[in-house]
Amino acid sequence: MEFLYFIAAILFAIIVYAVVSYFRMKKAVTTLTQDQFIEGYRKAQLIDVREPKDFAAGHILGARNIPQTQLRQRHKEIRSDKPVYLYDQNGARAGRVAIYLKKQGYDQLYQLQGGFKQWTGKIKSKS
Of the segments 62-76, 91-105, 112-126, which one has the largest average pLDDT value? 62-76
Confidence (pLDDT) at 61: 92
pTM of the full predicted structure? 0.82
Q: Which helix (H) or strand (E) holds 21?
A: helix 2-28
Nearest of 118, 62, 109, 108 to residue 88 by alpha carbon: 118
Strands 59-60 and 123-124: antiparallel
Integer angstrom CA distances of residue 64 from 45, 49, 50, 101: 8, 9, 10, 16
Residue ranges and CATH numbers for the domains of the chain are 29-124 (3.40.250.10)
Res 127 pLDDT > 70: no
- Counting every residue written for the chain, the total comes to 127
